[in-house]
Amino acid sequence: MGLIGLGTVGTGTVKVLLEHQREIERRLGFRVELKKICSRSIHKKDISWIGQAVETTTDWKQVVRDPEVDIVVELVGEPKTALAIARHTLDARKHLVTANKQIVAEHGLELAERGRAAGATLGIEACVAGGTPILHAIREGLSGEHFRAVYGILNGTTNYILTEMEQRNCSFEEALREAQAHGYAEPDPTMDVEGYDARYKIAILAMISFGQAVEVRDIPVQGITRIRQIDFAYAHQLGRTIRLIAAARRLPAQAGVGGGRLEAFVRPLMVSRSGPLAGILGATNGVLLVGDKGGNTTITGRGAGGEPTGVAVLSDVVEIAREIVRGGASVTGRPDRRKAQAGPSPLGYAHWHRAKLRPAGEMVASTYLRLVVRDRPGILARVSGILARHRINIDSVLQEPNHPKRRLPFVMTLEPGSERQVARAVTEIARLPFLAEPPLTMPLAELP
Ligand SMILES: NC(=O)c1ccc[n+]([C@@H]2O[C@H](COP(=O)([O-])OP(=O)(O)OC[C@H]3O[C@@H](n4cnc5c(N)ncnc54)[C@H](OP(=O)(O)O)[C@@H]3O)[C@@H](O)[C@H]2O)c1
């Protein structure tokens, strides 16, 4: 194999390979050799710890061209380069393993098709929920299932921040600083805290679970930057907690409405504290699969980090090595790529269609509405008057004690209604003169 990108995951992958090489050899019956490593600044890196003869280069094309490299592992991060490496590798009839969720979410079908045409396969397990085998579980272990929905906590950084806010009663900013100090969050955390990272991952999960190609940009996304400590206090009063949930689900076929369509989103939801995703804490990832026959299956584990992700990368390498051998090469001889057959589609389906996503705003749910106001008489009457005009019923009003009157938070829970209807009312409420900050709404989600 040849490896491109010796950063966090590249280094983790090499370390795991070195530590587990004998175990992998016992599994396969032959050794997986690391032939060549490419990294931009490889000559400045101390790679003496690798302790075995490995060729090095700064030019990734040399890895792809090397006749002794059958499997190219791409771990460079930067999407343009990653996509170029992926296309070159597959076109050169070599197998590719990548951890780049963005290129798989945006170009997965194209890459799978290139691979199929070239007799090369594509390993993508590391793209979603790092060290967990979630994609294999959906594609292989549960391939007889008809999935109704997939819900995930797919971003360790945001889950760490939310659970710190909940457990230590700290602010979003404090929890973010701590996540950065622990190396869980990038110096620029936008991709994580605004939900974009999770959006790529749910697009991949939707492809693999439903055989429908989803346009990443069509998935509505909302991050966690507006969640405050006080929201957890209210959530607890309601028997709930807050998690950034990435979801994709089939809409029930009703007479002429929604049948066969999908709904997908990334957003903070108030979920029941006794539900399967509420117990996923810290930087852990978790996915809840809802199947027609098998019911709920939950898979949790480490979603990131060099070595856990390296395990996922190597698991793909091992699987491809098995396929190469099954394709006709002798175990002791060099695998013959020309004889090798690409395995089942890496994306789980041989036939595809483009997903028709339900537009944002059509979800029907109970709603959490948090207002922060400059206290004065008549506030409740004004707010409930607006809600009544939009035909939205109030279920409860909650107010935590001991807050200053110039920034008084209180919460209303609203009976089930369409999000669009609630959004119209909230836009009107936001214009009221006594609001100290824009209102926050969150669905009170009933996950299976
Ligand atoms: N970090 C995680 O926990 C995690 C988890 C799951 C998936 N992933 C995915 O794994 C991939 C790698 O992530 P990472 O965290 O390991 O990134 P990283 O630490 O930034 O490492 C990327 C490495 O790629 C090298 N590189 C960049 N451009 C190159 C080029 N043109 N030619 C050769 N080498 C090049 C860099 O080289 P130099 O250092 O030599 O300059 C760097 O070491 C990304 O797609 C990421 O989304 C990461």
Burial class (CB in 10 A: 0-12, 13-18, 19+), 122: buried
Cβ–Cβ under 8 Å, residues 313 and 34 = no
Assess whether pLDDT exceeds 60 at residue 197. Answer: yes
More reliable by pLDDT, 135 or 447: 135
How do residues 87-106 score in pLDDT, each as one tens digit?
A: 999 999 999 999 999 999 99
Nearest to 143, CA basis, from 222, 209, 88, 71: 209
Q: pLDDT tier at 52 (50, 70, 90 boundaries)?
A: confident
Residues 20, 139, single domain; the answer is no
Atom of ligand 1 nearest to the CA of 10: 16
Is 44 among the catalytic positions?
no
The Å distance, Cα 73 to ligand 1 centre, comes to: 11
Alpha helices in 300-448 (DSSP H): 306-326, 379-389, 419-429
Q: pLDDT tier at 335 (50, 70, 90 boundaries)?
A: very low
In this predicted structure, what is the pLDDT of residue 168? 95
Q: Which of 143-152, 154-163, 190-199, 395-404 has the lowest mean pLDDT?
A: 395-404
Please state the domain count of the chain: 3
- What amino acid is encoded at 361 in this protein? G
**CATH code where residue 73 lies:** 3.40.50.720
Assess whether pLDDT exceeds 60 at residue 258. Answer: no
Cβ–Cβ under 8 Å, residues 221 and 196 = yes
Assess whether pLDDT exceeds 90 at residue 362. Answer: no
Residues 346, 332, single domain; the answer is yes
Q: Is 131 touching ligand 1 by the criterion CB < 6 Å? A: no
Q: Is residue 358 part of a domain?
A: no
Residues 105, 140, single domain; the answer is no
Residues 286, 164, single domain; the answer is yes
**How many angstroms separate the CA atoms of 437 and 448, rounded?**
33
The residue whose CA has the least distance to atom 30 of ligand 1 is: 40
Residues 19, 167, single domain; the answer is no
Q: Is residue 224 part of a domain?
A: yes
Q: Is residue 268 part of a domain?
A: yes
Lookup result for tokens 């991050």? 223
**How many angstroms separate the CA atoms of 164 and 131, rounded?**
22
SS3 262: strand
**How many angstroms separate the CA atoms of 387 and 383, rounded?**
6
**How many angstroms separate the CA atoms of 245 and 198, rounded?**
8
| Average pLDDT of the chain to the nearest whole number | 92
Q: Mean of the pLDDT values across residues 315-325?
A: 92
Q: Which structure tokens are listed for 124?
A: 């993508």
Task: Report which DSSP code applies to 252.
Answer: P
Residues 337, 294, single domain; the answer is no
Q: Is residue 113 part of a domain?
A: yes
Atom of ligand 1 nearest to the CA of 9: 16
Catalytic residue among 201, 293, 356, 405: 201
Q: Mean of the pLDDT values across residues 5-22?
A: 97
Residues 317, 287, single domain; the answer is no
Q: Is residue 347 part of a domain?
A: yes
Percent of the chain whose pLDDT exceeds 90: 82
**How many angstroms separate the CA atoms of 114 and 345, rounded?**
11
The residue whose CA has the least distance to atom 36 of ligand 1 is: 5
Q: Which of 41-45, 251-255, 279-283, 339-343 has the lowest mean pLDDT?
A: 339-343
How do residues 102-161 score in pLDDT, each as one tens digit?
A: 999 999 999 999 998 888 999 999 999 988 999 999 999 999 999 999 999 999 999 999
Cα R_g (the chain), whole angstroms: 24
Residues 123, 83, single domain; the answer is yes
Q: pLDDT tier at 359 (50, 70, 90 boundaries)?
A: confident
The Å distance, Cα 186 to ligand 1 centre, comes to: 13
Cβ–Cβ under 8 Å, residues 7 and 77 = yes
- Say how far residue 151 (Cα) sits from the centre of its chain: 10
Q: Which of 68-72, 223-227, 300-304, 351-355 has the lowest mean pLDDT?
A: 351-355
Q: Is residue 357 part of a domain?
A: no
Residues 141, 125, single domain; the answer is no
Q: pLDDT tier at 342 (50, 70, 90 boundaries)?
A: very low
Cβ–Cβ under 8 Å, residues 133 and 299 = yes
Residues 200, 325, single domain; the answer is no
Q: Is residue 142 part of a domain?
A: yes
In this predicted structure, what is the pLDDT of residue 261? 87
**How many angstroms separate the CA atoms of 281 and 258, rounded?**
34
**CATH code where residue 417 lies:** 3.30.70.260
In this predicted structure, what is the pLDDT of residue 312? 97
Nearest to 61, CA basis, from 36, 42, 78, 43: 36
H or E element that contains 152: strand 147-153
Residues 219, 279, single domain; the answer is yes
Residues 210, 282, single domain; the answer is yes
In this predicted structure, what is the pLDDT of residue 325? 83
Strands 262-272 and 212-213: unpaired
Q: pLDDT tier at 360 (50, 70, 90 boundaries)?
A: confident
**How many angstroms separate the CA atoms of 348 and 241, rounded?**
34
Q: Is 99 touching ligand 1 by the criterion CB < 6 Å? A: yes
- What amino acid is encoded at 406 in this protein? R
In this predicted structure, what is the pLDDT of residue 328? 39
In this predicted structure, what is the pLDDT of residue 15? 97
The Å distance, Cα 3 to ligand 1 centre, comes to: 11
Q: Mean of the pLDDT values across residues 361-376?
A: 92
In this predicted structure, what is the pLDDT of residue 358? 87
Q: Which structure tokens are listed for 166?
A: 């909940």
Q: Is 285 touching ligand 1 by the criterion CB < 6 Å? A: no
Assess whether pLDDT exceeds 60 at residue 5. Answer: yes
The Å distance, Cα 315 to ligand 1 centre, comes to: 19
**How many angstroms separate the CA atoms of 411 and 404, rounded?**
15
Range of the domain at 439: 364-444
Atom of ligand 1 nearest to the CA of 305: 3
Percent of the chain whose pLDDT exceeds 70: 94
What string of DSSP letters covers 323-366?
Answer: HHHHTT--SSS---TTTPPP-S-TTS-SS-EE--BPPTT--EEE
Q: For the whole model, what pTM was predicted?
A: 0.94
**CATH code where residue 159 lies:** 3.30.360.10
Q: Which structure tokens are listed for 179?
A: 């996540």
Assess whether pLDDT exceeds 70 at residue 254. Answer: no
In this predicted structure, what is the pLDDT of residue 344? 60
Task: Write down which residue in 317, 352, 387 finishes a domain.
Answer: 352
Q: Is 332 touching ligand 1 by the criterion CB < 6 Å? A: no
H or E element that contains 232: helix 229-237
The Å distance, Cα 81 to ligand 1 centre, comes to: 11
Q: Is residue 391 part of a domain?
A: yes
Cβ–Cβ under 8 Å, residues 83 and 182 = no
Atom of ligand 1 nearest to the CA of 44: 40
Q: Which structure tokens are listed for 207?
A: 């492809």
